[in-house]
Each structure stands twice: as structure tokens, then as C-alpha cells.
Structure 1
Amino acid sequence: MNQQLAHVDRPRLTREWWRGATIYQIYPRSFADSNGDGIGDLPGITARLDHVASLGVDAVWLSPFFPSPMADFGYDVSDYCDVDPIFGTLDDFDALIERGHALGLKIIIDQVYSHTSDAHAWFQESRADRANAKADWYVWADAKPDGSPPSNWQSVFGGPAWTWDARRGQYYMHNFLSSQPQLNVHNPDVQDALLATARFWLDRGVDGFRMDAINFSMHDPALTDNPPAPPSNTPRTRPFDFQLHVHNQSHADIPRFIARIRALLDSYGNRFTVAEIGGADNDHEMKAFTADGRHFDSAYGFDFLYARQLTPGLVREATERWPDQPGLGWPSWAFSNHDAPRAVSRWAAPEDRDGYARLTMLLLLSLRGDVFIYQGEELGLSQVEIGFDDLKDPEAIANWPLTLNRDGARTPLPWCAVSPGLGFSSGKPWLPLGDDHAALTISAQDGDPESMLAFTRTLVALRNDSDALLLGAMRVIEASDQMLVFDRSVAGETMLCVFNLGEKPVRWAPAEPARWQIVAQVGTVDDWALGRFSGYVARTIDQ
């Protein structure tokens, strides 16, 4: 039953390159260091892009590499149109684009439009006084009569979302760190400036943008207090968790600005935009921000990124919110990224991680939508335990030890077990390496046909070879305590996707079993009986 079918020649459906794409996320600080300073850089990425291309993915998403004080490791931008010296130069970026395109890879970069660094020239001018040309480029407000902040809004990273500035005699708003002042994106001049930065990178050849925290980009100008959140069983570790964020974000005018971004990208042709949209009730925003072909192409939320367990019900609930119907946007999915603990450590005990990494990769690459593979996911990397003295993440430091530790997912990629720094750097890496990562290096897995790396390549190739997996509708057949079964279908092709996400063996046979042949599997599958943490994808024999 585990025999794989050979490639089936059939006429392929036409599609935009990004629809159904597999996209590989690179966190530049931790991918590859070319100069021995312990921090990854653009030349390091360029030199190692062959590894990414070997996976068969369509595109690379680069996390920020712009000039920044690095208070939030690049998400506090001080210049939108340059490269921070720790990562290289604009010439290095151009070389990366050229190499990526030569390898058939599209290059997507982050754009951070809700806030800047307080070191940005725009903010330096804005804070100087209340009458300068950029006085209204950020969110400023007078104190209440008692001197307290203008509203009860709270910062994601802890404490009020307002900081007093003596030069202006006003508070400025920040949804994140106090060194990340909130842009006033209601202001048309700010929108024009942000569009100019997008044009700068499009002119340099980028193929699209991942829009960071875009639902934070506009606030309620009336500065209305947020209401308290209702009681919840979810642990609350920050003041931010005690509110419903209905006034400091998610303003109804955001889609109008998104339409302007979309019009700009459409003028370049064949470009792609995907939005990060967080929050407990983000479904409405995701739909509004991707609607009717005039907004972003796709969006992803945090359905899986912070889930403590992977359950059939979770998959069903998340995917059924995105049916294949006119006017509805295209979904994207990620199980891990630079902001969330690695999925394999959240969802599996240490002794089960190798098999579970394979199971979740099979599931991810079977979903309808675009899928994001975070660097190291193709190796089965686990979350690294980082001691307090080694922490760099400001959120983890501020909320130690309760907040999820982002540093443990940002540790350097292991390239070679016999090289210093596991081949990442000849110097001391900026974060500690995982104790178990030496056994999972790229060099150790590259020539092993049974490795997680080889399995990932096989699954990406299977997805690329199947219009049903790339573009087909998704129909959930069963989502019980353990069993998740769905099919993906287009005219002339159906793929059956069956997963036992539980610890007990289960038998699940398709209708007319003789019609189906398994083309990929993980774990034990014997006469349609699935062992614990097992799954398969099958294609009808007559296709």
C-alpha cells in the first residue's frame, strides 16, 4: 500500500504562481552568517539559497533586514529603503534577488506599516514640536486632566500603549514597544510615503510583500477606551490580554488603504501580498483584507501558531472558514514561524517528534491555500530552551517566565555537525544552538533518503505535481477525536488525505478501497489501519 505512484502526465490547470504556493520563511539573523560575527546576513542567504531551491518551494519570505536599532530585531524600522549594515548592503540585496530568480525562487519581503522605530527620521521630526510638517504622522494625544494617558489601551509587550514625550507635551501611542511609535496611517501623506517605500523595493525586483501586523495600522481617532475581555480559560500574562482590542486596531478604513497597496502592486504585474492578521477574533478582518480581488491576495492568522494541540476539530474549524467561493480571499497556513514556539515541540513529546514532524508536514502540504515552511521545519528542528541570561526577545524578558519564548524558535539553522557553530557561523552565534540540533543538520540529512529533509522534498514535489493539492476544493469528511479525513479535488483528480492525530491505532477505510493507491504516508498504515500519529495521501488508480 505504500508504493508511490509515478508522475502522471495530464494537462495542468493555469494559475497565478502564488496560488497554492509553498513559501519558505527565512529569518535572516539565523539562516547563515558569512562574516563570522555570529549574526546571519544577506550574503549568507545568497550563498545558501541552493538548499531552499532544492526543496522545490516557489518562494522565499525574508523577515526584516532594514536599518533598525534592533529593539524588536528589525520590526522597529529606522529606514524603510536600505539594508542594516549587520545584514549587508543594497548591493548584497540585489545579488540575493538575482540569485533567487536564477534558481526559480520568488522573493517576498516584510513590510511594517503600523509603526516605525523611534530612531526613524519621520518620528524625530514629528516629536520636535506640534507644528512641523510631520507633526501628524504619528498618533499623538494630550493627557487627561489628571495627567494620565489618553485611553486605557495596552501594549502587546506589556504596560500602557502610551508614552509621555516632554518635547511635545503629549503622549504618543505604541501598540508594541515604547520605541515603536504608532504611525498615523489615517493621514494620506503617511500612506503616500509608505507606498513610496513599497515602490522602492518593487523597483529592485521583489515579487511581493508579507504585511506585518496590518490590522494594527489604524486606530479609533476618538481614542475610545477598550472594553474588558470576558472571562476566559486562557492564561493571561499581560495587561493586553484583559481587553477586547476594538478601538486601538482594526479600524474600518484599513481596507481602503489596502486597496491602494493592491493597485500599486497590480501596476507591476505578477506580484503577491499576504497579510499577518493576529487576534482572537480576526476572521472578519482576514476576509475584509482579502476580498474581491482588490485587496491582499492572501492572509494568515494564528489558528495553528499558538495552538497547544493539533486536533481534527481545529483543522476543520480553521479550513472551513475559507470555502472555495467567488469574492472570498485565498487562505495561507503556517504551523511555525519566528514568533511562535516550534510546532513539533508544542504538539509532540520528545520521543514522538521525528514522526510527528513528518505527520504535520504531510498535513500542512495537503491543505488548501498557500503554505509556509519556517526555516528548520524541513529538518524537524525542535524548540530550544533559552536561559534568562541568554534571552534577546524583549517580550520574553519583560514577561519572564510566563510568556511564550520567541528566541527558542529563532536559533541558528544547523548546517554541518563537524563545523564550528554547526556551520552557521565561524564566530559565536547570537543565540545558543539546540543541544539536539547537531544530529539534524542539513549535511547529515542531505544524502539520507529516509531523512526528514528528503521526506519534505518528496511532499513538496507531490504537491507541485497535483492540481488537486494546489488548487482543489477541500471537503472535510471526518473530524473526530483522533481522525481527520478530507479530500482535495478538481475536475479529473481527487486526493484523499487521512490522518490519525491521536495515540491509539484506528482503522479507517475509504469507500471502494481498491480504487485508491497511497502516494505518500507517514507512520504505520496496514490494510487501511493507521497506527498512532500516522497518515497518508492517496490518489485513485484510474487518474
Structure 2
Amino acid sequence: MADWWRGAVIYQIYPRSFQDTTGDGIGDLKGITERLDYVAGLGVDAIWLSPIFTSPMADMGYDVSDYTDIDPTFGTLADFDAMIARAHELGLKVIVDQVLSHSSDQHPFFRESRSSRDNPKADWYVWADPKLDGSPPNNWVSIFGGGAWQWDTRRRQYYFHNFLPEQPDFNFHNRDVQDWLLGTMRFWLERGVDGFRLDTVNFYFHDKLLRDDPADYRVKTEPAANPYDMQYHIFSKNQPENLAFLERMRSLLDEYDGRMMVGEVGESHHAIRMMGEYTSGNSLQMAYSFEMLGAPFTAAHFRKQIEDFFEGAPRGWPTWAFSNHDVHRHASRWARHGIGREELAKLTGAMLLSFQGSICLYQGEELGQTETELELFELTDPQGINFWPEPVGRDGCRTPMVWDANAPSAGFSTGRPWLPVKEAQAAQAVAGQAGVADSVLEFYRKMLRLRRDTPELVSGATAFFDVSEPILAFTRGGNVLCIFNLSPEARDVRLTGGGALALAQGAEHRGDILHLHPNGFAILEALEGVNVSDVSDPAKA
């Protein structure tokens, strides 16, 4: 099916932390292949692999030195082919992370580019002369701290890097760069991948005039923890030329049946609008949203993201997530809104999997996994190290998958894992939850089955009810009613036209009152004239 991705549930695998088969403490492709039966058994539609290409690992694979080979840490191209074959046997699509905005400084092309100002690759990266006083050409800053320009003594110029100095940005204004990168994507399409998750998809082009980014128009009372958040990045990224290149990428994918692209829109300003713009034309099929990966946990916030997207881009398509490899796990991030880890995990799982759009689940999310607390000496993430003690970086959500609490490293590896497996995380292991009726894992399996078996939950339009916080209530496709209590306190709503119950936690009917326990929810049939409203007189509840 050409549009299999529309409404699909994608399971994100962080390969370093999924399953190690060699004992070196780092996950690998053979380990992923061994665990695909588990993934397929959840009821998801696809897997997304974080970077696996050859890399010196300055940023855990997001610094690519060979775009058409597998890093030996993870295995070989033969291992990759075997994994693809097994995934397809199990009915799983395979999406790979494609990091195009920048390469590693160890890539042969950058080594050539920095060797002189007149070599064949001289204009393949973003180079600029210093100002007369020797300072960088403008005020652009790096996401990982400090300026975004690195001095190079060989060319006596600065090169641009949005991330680490070891991650120089490609010059997308050079057509040859575009053509070559499209060729690397073709390589993986020919090997059978079903799609690409495009890292930092709005970072490809920079302003040719190298104009300064202005200060963030949102007034701050004190400096941000990361200076990057103090600028409005209208010149260092988010350029209009991006769309034309995305259309070239789409033309490439259209040569193959049933392939897709989901772009990571890394933007703190107007992100929903940009997601709609990138998915409404002949470019991306989907855009991945960061808008639910932060702190807000209110009905109004979730409603606004969904309504804003579909009102602004009725022909676009979003991908929603609550956790990933770059943010604190939501079971910890939103813990104060729950009465317990399991109750909150089930509430958020039911809520996310009832949203209109495609859904991305991060490995361990189906276990109710929590953030790992790490000491400075345990960190590997350059962002966490540079900004210690706050923000603490990304290692806490990247610790290994836990399979069996009674096995060494919770079944992840027979060796010392690259990040520690701590007791709090091991306690959530798969073996202790599989087959246990009220476990978070079994709940996710039920909810995923309900979504897959209910067309309205896959593709039905959303209509929200005007209900006071902390209640989020809406219908999908007019036939499915979803009501959630985003609170550690009980709440009542008036319900008319609610039919058979499909799935619930802490929900009781009392006449026309639906009593929701703390973190309670109900997904049920929506009958004609269905309505959810506030209880005007608490005494009636």
C-alpha cells in the first residue's frame, strides 16, 4: 500500500542500546534482528533505526564519514540486509536515519575541502572569510554551545557547524552536493529500505549573505541555559530553498513503490506551521513534531498542536511522539501529573495512540521506562558534558533496553554496557511484564491492537469537545470517543451518547456522569448526538 505510513505506528530503535550480540557492550544489527519478533508482537507497523552508518561517533553516529556503509560497531551490510529481510517477513517496514545537513569532519570530502580554496570539493561545505578583526563572519551559534564557526588554519577561513565542530555543514547551494546526497539515498532505497527519517530537515540551507540571526523576539527574564535558545534562527536555517530540495528528494522516492520520508523539524518558532508547509505539497509525506516532547502536560496544549496543524495544513500529515533519544523520557518528565508510573504510562500511551497522525514510540516506552539518573563521569553525550549540570544531556534516555532483570545488564549484553543499566530501569524489564495482564507492556499491546483494528483511530478526523482542564475529550471519525483525565485527582464529566466501552482505566458511569479516577480514561463508541461537557453542579456527580 503506497500510503502505509498514514496513521502508522513507528517503533524507534536506538541501535547502540537495543541488543548486543558480541559482548562489547554496544548494541548491533544482529541484536535488532534477534528482537524483531518482540517488536512485531507489539503490533507496530514499522521500525526506525537511529544512525548506523560509518562514523567516528563524536555525536553517536550523527557525524557520518561514509554514507553507504555500516559502522563496524553495528555490523556489516550483510547484517543490514538480513535485518531488512527478517523485518519484511514479519510485516515491518524499515526506516533509517538520514543525516544530510552535515557530515563528519573525517569524511573524505571535508578533508579535501579543507585542504585548499581551489580543490574540487572546496565549495562543498560552508566556508567564510573572517572579519577584519579576525572574528567569525556573523553571530550564528552552535546548538552544542559556543559559536557556530570553526577556524581552519589550512584555508585561513571559518567553516560553519550547527552542531559540533566535528560536524561541518554541507553547502546545499552547490547543486553537486545535492546530487551526491540524493545518490546516497538511492543506495539505501535499492537495498530495500521503506523510508527515511530526515535529521534536522530544516537545516539544509543557510543564508547566502550570512546575515546575523536576530535576538529571540520572545522576551526572557534571564539568559537561557543554552545561548542557542536566545536567537531567532531566520538566517542560519529555515531557508526557502529547502522546499525545492525536498521536492527533488520526493521525486527520487516516487521512483520506488511505497517509500516515504518523515522530516525532523528542529525549530522552536512556528514549528507547527513549518511542519504543515513541508508536508502539504510534493515534498515530505510526514513531519516529526517536537511540540509534545517538552514540559507542557495540559489538555489545551495537546489540543492546540493537533488543531493548529490540521487547520493550517489540511493536506499535510504529522507524526507525534512523547519520547525519543533526545529528550527526557515522558514517564519521568510528566511524573508529577500521575498517581504512579504505571497509571501515567497507560494514560499517556492511550492518549498518544488515539491522536490523529502517525505515531512514534521510543524503545522502552511500552514498558513505562523512566529516565536514568547519571553522574558526570558516566556521560558520553557531548551536549550533556558541555552543559553540565543543567541541562543534563541525552544519555539518560539512551541507556540500554531491559529484557530480563535477572540477567547480566538486564539481558542487553554479556559485557559492560556503554551506558549503565541501573536497578530502577531493570525493574521494568520485558520478562517481568510479558503475559502479566495489568502490566504496561500488555496494555500497550491492547491499545496498539485497538488502533490497528479501528479505522477511525488510524485516519479519522478529530473533533474536540470544549471541556475544562484537565480533561481532554474528542471524537475520531465521528464514531470513536476518547476522554482523558490528565490529573492525579478524580474528575467528573457529563457524557451523553457514549456507547460500548473499548478500553479504559479508572472510569465509571454514574447515570449521565462519567467519573474518571486519577489518570483515568475511556475510549468508547460515539453514538448519535454524543457530547462531553463539564458538570455544572458538582453535587450532581
Q: Residue 9 of structure 1 aligns with which residue? A: none
Q: Residue 539 of structure 2 aligns with which residue? A: none
Of structures 1 and 2, the one with the larger relative CO (CA 8 A, separation 6+) is 1
- Separation (CA, whole Å) in 2 of partners of 1:201 and 1:288: 26
Match for 1:107 among 86, 90, 94? 94
Aligned amino acid, residue 336 of structure 1: S
Secondary structure at 1:436's aligned position in 2? helix
Match for 2:504 among 503, 516, 521? 521
Q: Residue 424 of structure 2 aligns with which residue? A: 436
Q: Residue 511 of structure 1 aligns with which residue? A: 496
Deviations 1:292-325 (A, max 9, x none): 2x1100002211112x231101101100022278
Secondary structure at 1:215's aligned position in 2? coil
8 Å Cα contact 1:478-1:486 kept in structure 2: no
Superposition map of 1:285-300 within 5 A: 285-292=274-281, 294-300=282-288
TM-aligned CA deviation for residue 533 of structure 1: 1.1
Secondary structure at 2:69's aligned position in 1? coil
TM-score normalized with structure 2 length: 0.94
Secondary structure at 1:71's aligned position in 2? coil
- Separation (CA, whole Å) in 2 of partners of 1:285 and 1:131: 37
- Separation (CA, whole Å) in 1 of partners of 2:48 and 2:222: 31
- Separation (CA, whole Å) in 2 of partners of 1:429 and 1:91: 24
Q: Residue 533 of structure 1 aligns with which residue? A: 519
TM-aligned CA deviation for residue 328 of structure 1: 2.5
Q: Residue 284 of structure 1 aligns with which residue? A: 273
Secondary structure at 1:76's aligned position in 2? coil
- Separation (CA, whole Å) in 1 of partners of 2:427 and 2:66: 39
Secondary structure at 1:510's aligned position in 2? strand
Match for 1:382 among 360, 370, 373? 370
Aligned amino acid, residue 145 of structure 1: L
Q: Residue 203 of structure 1 aligns with which residue? A: 190
Q: Residue 8 of structure 1 aligns with which residue? A: none
- Separation (CA, whole Å) in 2 of partners of 1:415 and 1:102: 23
Deviates more, 1:33-42 or 1:316-325: 316-325
Q: Residue 480 of structure 2 aligns with which residue? A: 495
- Separation (CA, whole Å) in 1 of partners of 2:439 and 2:503: 14
TM-aligned CA deviation for residue 337 of structure 1: 0.1
Match for 1:213 among 200, 209, 220? 200
- Separation (CA, whole Å) in 1 of partners of 2:126 and 2:286: 28
8 Å Cα contact 1:384-1:411 kept in structure 2: yes
Superposition map of 1:306-317 within 5 A: 306=294, 308-317=295-304
Aligned amino acid, residue 31 of structure 2: G
Q: Residue 446 of structure 1 aligns with which residue? A: 434
Q: Residue 10 of structure 1 aligns with which residue? A: none
Secondary structure at 1:323's aligned position in 2? helix
Deviations 1:459-511 (A, max 9, x none): 01100011110000011113522111111016xxx110101102321111322
TM-aligned CA deviation for residue 284 of structure 1: 3.0
Aligned amino acid, residue 286 of structure 2: S
Superposition map of 1:48-447 within 5 A: 48-230=35-217, 231-232=219-220, 236-281=224-269, 282-292=271-281, 294-306=282-294, 308-323=295-310, 328-349=315-336, 352-447=340-435
- Separation (CA, whole Å) in 1 of partners of 2:453 and 2:162: 43
Change beyond 3 A, Cα 1:394–1:341: same
Deviations 1:317-373 (A, max 9, x none): 100022278862101100000000000101014862110010000000000000000
Secondary structure at 2:198's aligned position in 1? strand
Q: Residue 446 of structure 2 aligns with which residue? A: 458
- Separation (CA, whole Å) in 2 of partners of 1:285 and 1:126: 32
- Separation (CA, whole Å) in 1 of partners of 2:422 and 2:397: 10
Aligned amino acid, residue 55 of structure 2: S
8 Å Cα contact 1:32-1:40 kept in structure 2: yes
Aligned amino acid, residue 488 of structure 2: E
Deviates more, 1:407-416 or 1:501-510: 501-510
Secondary structure at 2:410's aligned position in 1? helix
Secondary structure at 2:310's aligned position in 1? coil
- Separation (CA, whole Å) in 1 of partners of 2:100 and 2:503: 41
- Separation (CA, whole Å) in 2 of partners of 1:117 and 1:407: 21
8 Å Cα contact 1:324-1:473 kept in structure 2: no
Secondary structure at 2:37's aligned position in 1? helix
Secondary structure at 1:502's aligned position in 2? coil
Deviations 1:419-443 (A, max 9, x none): 1110000001110113212221111
Equivalent residues, number: 523
8 Å Cα contact 1:316-1:479 kept in structure 2: no
Q: Residue 5 of structure 1 aligns with which residue? A: none
TM-aligned CA deviation for residue 233 of structure 1: 5.9
TM-aligned CA deviation for residue 51 of structure 1: 0.6
Secondary structure at 1:437's aligned position in 2? helix
Match for 2:455 among 467, 476, 494? 467
- Separation (CA, whole Å) in 2 of partners of 1:234 and 1:532: 36
- Separation (CA, whole Å) in 2 of partners of 1:351 and 1:142: 57
8 Å Cα contact 2:223-2:230 kept in structure 1: no
Aligned amino acid, residue 518 of structure 1: L
Structure 2 unmatched ranges of 5 or more: 531-541
TM-aligned CA deviation for residue 78 of structure 1: 0.6
8 Å Cα contact 1:396-1:406 kept in structure 2: yes
